[in-house]
Chain A
Amino acid sequence: MSRRFTPKIVTANRLREGDVVYLTADDRWSPFHHEAELIEDEAHAQLRLLHATAQKLVVVGAYLADAKPGPNGPEPTHFREEFRTRGPSNYNHGKQADYA
């Protein structure tokens, strides 16, 4: 029996700025995790990742990260991804400051 696929989002960093971004269903790169496309199918996830890695002049280091559905859109399941949605805990820098 195959294991159930854990839902995923595609995330990366912007090439020029280094900012964390998420791939949306309408092919934008959003700074917000909740705007990401929540991918529930493994084959589709691979296609979306290919689509992301092909954008060599826009993003760097695209990968699939585990996520779960939430009231406002996908939410991270792991603390590392949660930190990436907001920025460091020692200063009010990064997304938590830029999009406050």
Chain B
Amino acid sequence: MYSYSEFDEAFVRARVAQFTQQVERRLDGSLTEEEFRPLRLMNGLYLQLHAYMLRVAIPYGTINPRQMRQLAHIAQTWDKGYGHFTTRQNIQFNWPKLEDVPAILQALADVGMHAIQTSGNCVRNVTADHFAGAAADEIEDPRPVAELLRQWSTDHPEFQFLPRKFKIAITGAPHDRAVTRAHDIGLRMVRNAKGEPGFEVIVGGGLGRTPMIGHTVRDFLPKADLLPYVEAVLSVYNTLGRRDNKYKARIKITVHETGKEEITRLIEDRFAELRPLFGGNDQKLLAEIEEAFAPPAFRNAPTDAYDAFYKADPTFRSWADTNLTAHRNAQYAIVTISLKAHGATPGDATADQMRLIADLAERYGHSEIRISHEQNVILPHVHKSDLPALHAALVQAGLGTANVGLISDIIACPGMDYCSLATARSIPIAQQIATRFDELKLEHEVGPLKIKISGCINACGHHHVGHIGILGLDRAGVENYQITLGGDGTETAAIGEKTGPGFAYDEIVPAIERIVRAYLDVRQSPEETFLECFRRTGIDPFKAALYDGEGEKDAA
């Protein structure tokens, strides 16, 4: 993977030194909170419900074992022994003290990590397909481009005060695992008629209070034009984006208000101005970055042991069926380590678990680790003959849950257990749903089903694109949960449809169970997934399951 250049290193160190002084000045009273707040946010430090929270970027979800061990060290030294992996391929520490934050940032800089631009109205951590560089369906590894975008956007003087935050996602595969259609800019690698790789550029997607699927402004952008084109998009947004109303400030609103055709024209005009200014240094840099992402030296060895184990051991087979994905090298597999043990907090890993993952990545995974926006950890390159030993080690550490892509593999934002913006809790709902379906022993029968939970309208839990989405609200001083169905974050992206009135905290799990049972009743065969079934039947059978009989209950 990419290691910091001298320039990166010097920049991050300088920022740590600067923020260290800013914290000192806040603590001695030279800076007021009003002055300090934007400075701490620029460095990923929030004040949440019960404590400060530090959000650390894991650019495009790629992290090495040394960095993972450092996160474990930070969790143990300055936090409560765990970290929370988020839906934006970041990690959050929920309990740091203000005076310890400079030391934490120093420790991050020691391993080439930082918390810069994980908050504020700037280009945020660039996210990517978590199977990048390994997936069988991939055109090219998108991470070199993501790294180029990281370097370009970091401290970019023109884009530090955008109308609002700006999120870029990138995928190198036709199967979209990076939710590119719900980002400010989504980049999907495609080939043109000549077979050359380039990008479909999608602009103006987003979730939050006004969910929108992005518009394609370019069907095919040559790779060499990427940086000037992205700069053109940002530049148009920076000029047109609304600064008068926070809720209308994202580029999705700009696109909506300007119209797709006009915004496309403006972007292309700006691109025509910018393109000649890029003299080719970006391409030289990209070529250097690409070298850093060279695939590991894959081993050539028999996989018979895997096949035999798969036949013999049902526990292993169940895990292999759900947690493995096809690798471009047929002897290898992509392993998803579930951070969703039934009843546990989605996305949380203890310091010990982080260290074990680092060890296993070194022993079995060519020292590569990824973090997914679905809040799991990926070992992208594991030789199949190593899978039984890897699985055994994971099981011992509580990391062997065989549920990836199933109903208990839930995305959940921190919700009102931590977040000061939340209007209701998310985590306990996720815990209860996972526990309930584990008790019922139904989840493998139900099959692929993505539940996504947000604790407020800002939709960090991506509920709009969940097959079942749950949104926690405050209705007259009581937690209330609204359900959406049929959302989809992939290449067939769709915003979920609201079912109707919401459910109270203790009613939401039974409501989800009614939806799932309705699906089992109406599906044509076990092969028809929840989403396929929903698309065939529409919302009515699910509405009936949710609300019919409610009246009788009230009358009783």
Interface residues of A (CB under 8 A from B): 13, 15-20, 56-57, 60-61, 77-80, 83-84, 87-91, 93-95
State which of B45-53, B107-115, B493-501 sits at the interface with chain A. B45-53
Instruction: Report the Cα distance A16→B51, complex, angstroms.
Output: 10
Instruction: Report the Cα distance A17→B95, complex, angstroms.
Output: 9
| Interface secondary structure of A, over-half rule | loop
A89 touches B97 (CB 8 A): no
Does B417 touch A at the CB level, under 8 Å? Answer: yes
B51 touches A90 (CB 8 A): no
B416 touches A61 (CB 8 A): no
- Which listed residue, B47, B94, B95, B428, touches A61 by the CB 8 Å rule? B47
Does B318 touch A at the CB level, under 8 Å? Answer: no
- Which listed residue, A56, A77, A78, touches B29 by the CB 8 Å rule? A56
B98 touches A20 (CB 8 A): no
10 additional contacts, CB 8 Å, given A56-B33, A90-B427? A15-B26, A19-B50, A60-B47, A61-B47, A79-B479, A80-B416, A83-B49, A93-B50, A93-B80, A94-B51
B477 touches A84 (CB 8 A): no
CB-CB under 8 A from A90, the residues of chain B are 345, 417, 427-428, 431
B477 touches A79 (CB 8 A): yes
- Contacts A13-B47, A89-B417, A89-B427 given; indicate if A18 touches B97 (C-beta within 8 A): yes
B window 89-142: CB within 8 A of A = 94-99
- Which listed residue, A78, A83, A95, touches B417 by the CB 8 Å rule? A83
A88 touches B418 (CB 8 A): yes
B window 466-495: CB within 8 A of A = 474, 477-479
CB-CB under 8 A from B47, the residues of chain A are 13, 18, 60-61
Minimum-distance CB pairs A-B, first 7: A88-B417, A18-B51, A18-B52, A90-B427, A94-B50, A90-B345, A89-B428
**A18–chain B nearest beta-carbon distance, Å:** 4
- Which listed residue, A17, A56, A79, touches B98 by the CB 8 Å rule? A17
B50 touches A88 (CB 8 A): yes
Residue of B with least CB distance to A79? B479
CB-CB under 8 A from B99, the residues of chain A are 16
CB-CB under 8 A from A83, the residues of chain B are 49, 416-417, 425
Instruction: Report the Cα distance A78→B423, complex, angstroms.
Output: 11
**B25–chain A nearest beta-carbon distance, Å:** 12
Query: Which has the most chain B C-beta neighbours within 10 Å: A18, A83, A93?
Result: A18
Instruction: Report the Cα distance A61→B50, complex, angstroms.
Output: 12
Instruction: Report the Cα distance A95→B51, complex, angstroms.
Output: 11
Instruction: Report the Cα distance A9→B480, complex, angstroms.
Output: 26
- Contacts A56-B29, A79-B478 given; indicate if A84 touches B345 (C-beta within 8 A): no
**A43–chain B nearest beta-carbon distance, Å:** 25
CB-CB under 8 A from A87, the residues of chain B are 50
Instruction: Report the Cα distance A57→B428, complex, angstroms.
Output: 35
- Which listed residue, B27, B48, B49, B478, touches A15 by the CB 8 Å rule? B27
**B434–chain A nearest beta-carbon distance, Å:** 12
CB-CB under 8 A from B26, the residues of chain A are 15
CB-CB under 8 A from B425, the residues of chain A are 83, 89
Which range contains the number of B residues in contact with the other chain? 20 to 34
CB-CB under 8 A from A16, the residues of chain B are 27, 97-99
29 A-B residue contacts at CB 8 Å? A13-B47, A13-B51, A15-B33, A16-B27, A16-B98, A16-B99, A17-B51, A18-B50, A18-B51, A18-B95, A18-B97, A18-B98, A19-B51, A56-B29, A56-B33, A57-B27, A61-B47, A79-B474, A79-B479, A80-B49, A80-B474, A83-B49, A83-B417, A83-B425, A89-B417, A89-B427, A91-B80, A93-B80, A94-B51
Does B21 touch A at the CB level, under 8 Å? Answer: no
- Contacts A18-B98, A89-B425 given; indicate if A77 touches B417 (C-beta within 8 A): no
Instruction: Report the Cα distance A16→B477, complex, angstroms.
Output: 31
Residue of B with least CB distance to A61? B47
- Contacts A19-B51, A56-B32, A57-B29 given; indicate if A77 touches B477 (C-beta within 8 A): yes
**B408–chain A nearest beta-carbon distance, Å:** 15
- Contacts A89-B427, A93-B80 given; indicate if A60 touches B33 (C-beta within 8 A): yes
Instruction: Report the Cα distance A89→B474, complex, angstroms.
Output: 17
Instruction: Report the Cα distance A45→B49, complex, angstroms.
Output: 22
Residue of A with least CB distance to B99? A16
**A49–chain B nearest beta-carbon distance, Å:** 15
Instruction: Report the Cα distance A57→B345, complex, angstroms.
Output: 35
**A76–chain B nearest beta-carbon distance, Å:** 11
**B529–chain A nearest beta-carbon distance, Å:** 30
**A57–chain B nearest beta-carbon distance, Å:** 5
Residue of B with least CB distance to A93? B80
**A2–chain B nearest beta-carbon distance, Å:** 22
CB-CB under 8 A from A89, the residues of chain B are 417, 425, 427-428
Instruction: Report the Cα distance A20→B418, complex, angstroms.
Output: 12
**B33–chain A nearest beta-carbon distance, Å:** 5
Instruction: Report the Cα distance A57→B98, complex, angstroms.
Output: 12
Instruction: Report the Cα distance A61→B208, complex, angstroms.
Output: 25
**A62–chain B nearest beta-carbon distance, Å:** 10
- Contacts A16-B98, A16-B99, A90-B428 given; indicate if A84 touches B50 (C-beta within 8 A): yes
Instruction: Report the Cα distance A13→B52, complex, angstroms.
Output: 9
CB-CB under 8 A from A78, the residues of chain B are 477
Instruction: Report the Cα distance A56→B476, complex, angstroms.
Output: 33
**A40–chain B nearest beta-carbon distance, Å:** 20
Instruction: Report the Cα distance A6→B425, complex, angstroms.
Output: 25
**A21–chain B nearest beta-carbon distance, Å:** 11
Instruction: Report the Cα distance A57→B418, complex, angstroms.
Output: 24
Instruction: Report the Cα distance A83→B418, complex, angstroms.
Output: 9
- Which listed residue, A60, A84, A93, touches B95 by the CB 8 Å rule? A93
